Amino acid sequence: MNLENSIAPRLREGRHVHGISVGTPQPALIQMCGYAGYDFVVIDNEHGPASVETVGEAIRAAHGVGLAPIVRTFERDIPRLLDAGACGIQVPLVETADQARRIVQACRYPPAGSRSVAFSTPAARYGFAGGPAHVEASDRAIAVILMIETAAAMANLDDILAVPGVDAVCVGPTDLSYSLGLSGEGKHPAVRAAVAECVAACKRAGVAVGANAFSGDDCREHVAMGMTYHTMMLTFLLGAALRGGLASMRTAAAG
């Protein structure tokens, strides 16, 4: 595991980082994202079907091209994914400070946290980079990212952000819209107001904040709001490129 790939220091310094969300974590796709110049990849194990073993191969591919692998996952799999070499964890549906505290603890070795110590793992380069230096570097480099996407999370937001060790928040407007009774209306004024409230709270707490963008306009809006943690979805980018390519071929054939 190459901890130098981590985006955690840049998040803490308030710098912009640019990533790609991948739900089908095939190593070749991960490598392409790295060659394209992205800072990090979010391997989606919330909505994606991949096993921990498959994600481990994707993590290895990411490190090979200088791409920081962040895994979007539920709490139960955090220990295995960190041992597999993830540079960060992005947990969906975080709603309380107690949950945020558990997540941070799971990402830190004792005495700072509760992560089990093992130096035979890919994260410790199978023992070639174990020991105190690995523990210290991991505690410093692992990014902890929480997803705020429900009305309950918004009600507890200040308490969640007060938990030490939270590096960034990723807002989920789609889930938030459903939670607010505005099913699928991610651009509804009430949802936009909730997103703006989340961004403002993160700024006050000194925590980086971001959201998934579906277009260049979304990206510009997010930057204007003060977001620094930026992602786009590989499936949407590929879909747009495929439709554009087909349209070009059909236009050429039509003469």
Q: What is the pTM of this model?
A: 0.95
Question: What average pLDDT does this structure show over 10-27?
Answer: 96
Active site residues: 47
Angle between helices 189-205 and 216-225 (to 10 degrees): 50
pLDDT for the residue numbered 93:
97
- Render 160-207 in DSSP notation, one character per residue: HHTSTT--EEEE-HHHHHHHTT-TT-TTSHHHHHHHHHHHHHHHHHT-
Question: What average pLDDT does this structure show over 178-187?
Answer: 90
Is the pLDDT at 1 greater than 70? The verdict is no
Burial 23-32 (b: 16+ CB within 10 A, else e): bebebebbbb
3-state secondary structure of 126: helix
Structure tokens at 22: 């991948």
Confidence class for position 106, pLDDT limits 50, 70, 90: very high
Is the pLDDT at 5 greater than 90? The verdict is no
Main-chain phi, psi angles of 148, to 5 degrees: -105, 110
Is the pLDDT at 239 greater than 70? The verdict is yes
Q: What angle do CA 47, 53, 55 make, to 5 degrees?
A: 45
Q: Count other C-beta atoms under 10 Å from residue 231's C-beta.
A: 24
